[in-house]
Amino acid sequence: MDEIKRPVAQELALFEEKFRQAMKSNTPLLDRITHYIIRRKGKQLRPILVFLTSRYFGQVSEQTYRGAALIELMHTATLVHDDVVDEAYYRRGFFSINALWKNKIAVLIGDYLLSKVLLLAVEHGDFEMLRLVSTAVREMSEGELLQIEKARRLDIDEHVYYEIIRQKTASLIATCCAVGAYAGGGSAEQVQLFTEFGQHLGMAFQIKDDLFDLDPDSNSGKPSGIDIKERKMTLPLIYALNHAGFLEKKQISYLVKYKSNDPKSVKKVIDFILGSGGVEYAKEKMKEYHAAAIEILQKLGGGPTEESLKLLSLYVLRRKQ
């Protein structure tokens, strides 16, 4: 990641400080919790994308910093709320906010962060960036609800799967690229191309996550089989079911729907997927999305951070976590 971040390393370091200051509060409990949130930061993929796409057009402005902050605030708010909904007590190896401070405070923290998004954008007149970020929130919510609806009946086909991950995962990565391109001074056409680049990158990113679920040796921090336990229809599972005989498909669907908390049943489903060619198929689809992202970069015609964006695209395919 160091090589990928190199063109914007100074900007990212300054962003960390600006973001830390933006999160400060005069309410001691709130200040303590936001400090805890900042300490848990992950790989910073989202701000990296914002700064690389902004620098692509030769400049990183104060608007770029605000754009990255808008996305980080919004994304953190959705994660805090997700942990409450999922009754999750860990995230990235740390206790979740609801695990430490209970649900009521966690929901209020999420609300507070969303209010910071609105205030930061409105106070500086960043209405286009607010529109982009708000659209991402809407799409992520719609994707989550679509997944919940389909998981009840396990009737997700490949087309629906792609729509779910486009909304749930790819929309946010696409928004990072769009916000960065907009803040960097890109034209409407260039912002649209970077949106498409981010969308392809996000699709590949999610398919890679699907593959982590089947690999007990990955360093993703994601327990093997967790998607099956949560009855999520991943691409390898969809492919495996679509290429199974009637009786086998019925049996595996039954295990996913009614036995997802039984470790032996989960292992049986994983073995079924591994023996079906589902993993190989998902890897090919992931590579197709990666190729589509690189093609978009070529259409853009080149910029100072092009090589970093190509490296980042490759990192999505090869990451271990």
Neighbours of 105 (CB within 10 A): 17
Q: What's the pLDDT tens digit per position in 230-289? A: 778 899 999 999 999 999 999 998 898 888 888 899 899 999 999 999 999 999 999 999
Mean pLDDT value of segment 68-85: 91
Residue of 168, 103, 100, 184 lying closest to 136 (CA atoms): 168
Say if residue 156's pLDDT is above 80.
no
For 218-237, the pLDDT digits (tens) are: 554 555 667 888 778 899 99
Do the Cβ atoms of 168 and 148 come closer than 8 Å? no
Q: What tens digit of pLDDT does each residue of 85-131 get?
A: 878 887 777 888 899 899 999 999 999 999 999 999 999 999 999 99
For the record, the structure tokens of 141 come out as: 């919510």
Distance of CA 156 to the CA centre of its chain: 20
At 23, the pLDDT band (50, 70, 90 cuts) reads confident
Start-to-end CA span in the chain (Å): 12
CA 237, 145, 42, 135: dihedral to nearest 10 degrees?
130
Q: What pTM did the predictor assign? A: 0.90
Residue listed under structure tokens 């190989």: 280
* CATH T-level fold of 2-318: Farnesyl Diphosphate Synthase (1.10.600)
pLDDT exceeding 70 applies to what percent of the chain? 95
Query: Which residues, other chains included, contact 132 with Cβ-Cβ below 8 Å and sequence gap of 6+?
Result: 175, 178, 179, 182
